[in-house]
Amino acid sequence: MNRVAANYLDPYRSQEGSYGIGLDNKINPYLLKKDFPIFQEKVQGRDLIYLDNAATTQKPYPVIAAVEKYNQAFHGNPHRGAHYLSVKATELYDQARQKVQEFIKARSRKEIIFTRNTTESINLVAYSYGMNFIEENDEILLSIAEHHSNILPWQQVARSRRARLKYMYLDKDGRLSMDEVKRKISNKTKLVCLTQMSNVLGTIFPIKEIIDYAHERGALVLIDGAQGLPHLGVDVGELDADFYVFSAHKMLGPTGIGVLYARESLLEMMPPFQSGGDMIEYVTEDTASFAPLPEKFEAGTPNVEGAVGLAAAIDYLNNIGLDKIYQHEIDLTAYALEKMKGIPYLTLYGPLDLEDRGGIISFNVDKVHPHDLASIVDLDGIALRAGHHCAQPLLNFLQVGASCRISFYLYNTKDDVDKLLESLERARSWFVNGS
């Protein structure tokens, strides 16, 4: 038996509940950590405290084992051959698409397009829909809290199509009010692009209300679910979004695979984003006809092992329950905010209460640059984020050059918070007092 399988089949699960759920029906993160081999490693000679989940999450044994098993026993090029391995790879790839469809409650597998990541999903919409259907003087509306991946493609579209880019701004608490939304959506608004949850402030935006209002005004809506889906989940049918995008690596899955959900009617009218193998039906010297959905938007050999890993990650999250994961994160956020609000040298950004927010906290330490702070706490085995978080327009709006950010997930603990605050105190003392 290989090492991954041996570890995965360790009998620790029977000690208390299953899949890290304690006898109180809540997540037991200490038990869950045993599912993640990264936490058996040492960082700078210390136990790892991983607080950078908004950037990427760690992988549990079931995900690692699923990818390893695919590569060991089933690897082939899907849709291309009649032999066993090609058929098996096709089967696993199609099963993964079905798993994603069920996870986000899409109506059809045709509406699930595999991409490399959230960024490519947004670019697909920008170049296939935006460059073909947005016209001169149309408006593309964004929030100031968007990740660069949900800004830069629309800058390109607006420039090429002579459309206008507009922004919705946040209030003093880091929230987006419906008054601001209604002020900015006009009869010229063709597309609204909005994150489900801010990767800097942790703010959860009222996307359902915004979608309903945008549709009333004749606009389509793209939701960036990279931060929201792993914690909040989504029902794309109930949400009524036109486009919804996310990445596997922010929900315990592999890097290199993401998803675009789009209404079938929109995908049918959009031209292919890339051309090549697997997305064609018939090719002559001068013309070609394209494959039906979803293959129409998936040129070339796909990332089958990524899809297999994503499917395994979905199973893992479903077995725990996104509701339990979110409650665990909010409990940690409440604990951290209560302690951090009492530290005079800390400046916190975003909502300071728990209403409409997730497990992301951005802050700065007085007289210590965020990059220096991140380097010092790393010596204690603590991973946090420092910089502009790929959201420079938001930080400029907040009049902040850079900040530190912590972000929680299912395997984080209150001990992680306590050790972080102890490390912050030592770091500040070293910079301010030299000791």
Closest CA to 56 of 197, 199, 196: 199
Q: Known catalytic residue: 390?
A: yes
* Nearest-angstrom CA–CA distance, 257 and 302: 9
From residue 213, alpha-carbon distances to 18, 99, 198 in Å are: 42, 31, 21
Q: Which pairs with CB-CB distance under 8 Å and at least 24 residues apart come from 10-13? A: 10/34
DSSP 148: G
Q: Which residues contact 119 (CB under 8 A, 6 or more apart)?
A: 149, 258
Are the C-beta atoms of residues 331 and 155 closer than 8 Å to each other? no
From the list 280, 390, 402, 421, the catalytic residue is 390
Are the C-beta atoms of residues 258 and 245 closer than 8 Å to each other? yes
Closest CA to 425 of 334, 332, 311, 343: 343
Three-state DSSP state, 192: strand
Q: Which pairs with CB-CB distance under 8 Å and at least 24 residues apart come from 117-120? A: 117/247, 117/249, 117/255, 117/256, 117/257, 117/258, 118/149, 118/224, 118/225, 118/226, 118/245, 118/246, 118/247, 118/258, 119/149, 119/258, 120/258
Closest CA to 391 of 66, 158, 101, 150: 150
Q: What are phi and psi of 343, to 5 degrees?
A: -100, 115
Q: Which residues contact 415 (CB under 8 A, 6 or more apart)?
A: none
Three-state DSSP state, 44: coil
* Nearest-angstrom CA–CA distance, 113 and 118: 11
Strands 220-224 and 280-283: unpaired
Catalytic residues: 390
